[in-house]
Structure 1
């Protein structure tokens, strides 16, 4: 079975054909919220579709709306994972806001540990701080749409983490190198739908993880069916 450990199907990009997209192939999808409004939509989708697992979170790009976090935490009882949370130093440049990002992330890491919920982490420019933070928590975690160095990837794997690969792999040389270096036992697939597609400026969707699997197969010289089976096993170890 295909697995998409990180998608945003609640967005307006899918308003015209959401049902068709979700049921297009046999797949389990972790649907991630980014703020209070989207978290509520995630829960609504998970109640409607049996193949959608709800992930509740607060995206670091929304750090100026951090007053929402208290209400978001109350939704975690209904979640199968915590996401999307993390650090973003690409869009957020203000030092005080960066410190606030770390404070908020710590709250979610604590909740993940306490509730035994896996955490799917956004990191854009924040790997150094993440590498310092994560060892303090006993959690299952995934680096969503990982774009860092192979050296940092290995550090996350050594902590027990997983590296998530989106379909942009087909046109991203850095991620191809990451897949080459990272053991299959530490890889999961995602789409980040509607983003991170294999074709530029085209809407991404969950079933496109099949293209990721095909490319991983090509890079690692392992049969596609074996790749799909192992990634499903990894997924089940996390969620």
Structure 2
């Protein structure tokens, strides 16, 4: 059975795709991608993603939320968002961190109430993100583009969480040890397109998901077909409403 790919975290509604979206979608399908989990960064994107779901109902699965950073008079912490970003330039004060945490918890509670998985941005905040989700009773979560320590990742594995990695991991070997330590049945694939592609400053797109798959296969000593099939099954287990 050909499972195809699931891109668990992409920004298909981003302005970078507006000029040639039909071509991007064609290449996405040609690459064997069956589902795009379409994430948002700001409220204004919600209608665009829902429109894309109407336009491509067999491909686009909406995943609505706000990124911890938005460009509005410069980068700033925003509320609400799904995730935590504690890098110094994003959260320079304890108050910034407290504000992020307050709304992060609020969105986790909404996810629990609606019986939805969470698709989480976590940067320089891996342990606190994982600990917070565990305390709030979250059992279905994807930690996208995860770059935390292996010890934190294993705590998340114990909680049943998943991890995804974009094509940018192919640029160097910084995350090899992390990928080696995470069991394959807790790994998903993503592109985070239009960002985090193989080459800096070049637009990434969902068709490049095979790069992530091939790299993870190399690091884990598996075939790309095995990684594709297992990660797709993982994705549909996590995002059950997107499953075909």
- Give the TM-score taking structure 2 as reference length: 0.87
After the TM superposition, which residues 26-105 of structure 1 pair with which residues of structure 2 at under 5 Å, given as runs?
26-27=32-33, 28-50=35-57, 51-62=59-70, 65-66=78-79, 69=80, 85-90=82-87, 91-105=90-104
Q: How many angstroms does 1:179 deviate by?
A: 1.3
Deviations 1:82-117 (A, max 9, x none): xx7100111221221210100111111111111111
1:81 corresponds in structure 2 to none
Which ranges in structure 1 are unaligned for 5 or more consecutive residues?
Answer: 70-83
Question: 1:15 is matched with which residue?
Answer: 18
Whether 1:187 and 2:165 are equivalent positions in the alignment is no
Please list every run of 5 or more consecutive structure 2 residues that lacks an aligned counterpart in the other structure.
71-75, 240-244
Counterpart Cα distance in 2 of 1:148 and 1:213: 20
Match of 2:109 in 1: 110
Between 1:128-137 and 1:115-124, the stretch displaced more is 128-137
Separation of aligned partners in 2, 1:113 and 1:174: 34
Contact kept in structure 2, 1:4 and 1:189, CA below 8 Å: yes
Aligned to 1:79: none
* 3-state DSSP of counterpart to 2:130: helix
Displacement of 1:195 in angstroms is 0.6
CA 1:180–1:65 in structure 2 vs 1: closer, same or farther (change >3 Å)? closer
Matching residue of 2:5 = 2
Shift of 1:233: 0.5
Partner Cα distance (1:92, 1:45) in 2: 33
What displacement does 1:176 show? 2.1
Number of equivalenced pairs: 223
TM norm structure 1:
0.88
Distance 1:169 1:16, change over 3 A: same
Aligned with 2:69: secondary structure? helix
Alpha-carbon displacement from aligned partner over 1:104-150 (angstroms, at most 9, x marks no partner): 11111111111111101000111132132111223300101101111
Residue 207 of structure 1 corresponds to which residue in structure 2?
A: 207
CA 1:65–1:145: 2 relative to 1, 3 Å: closer
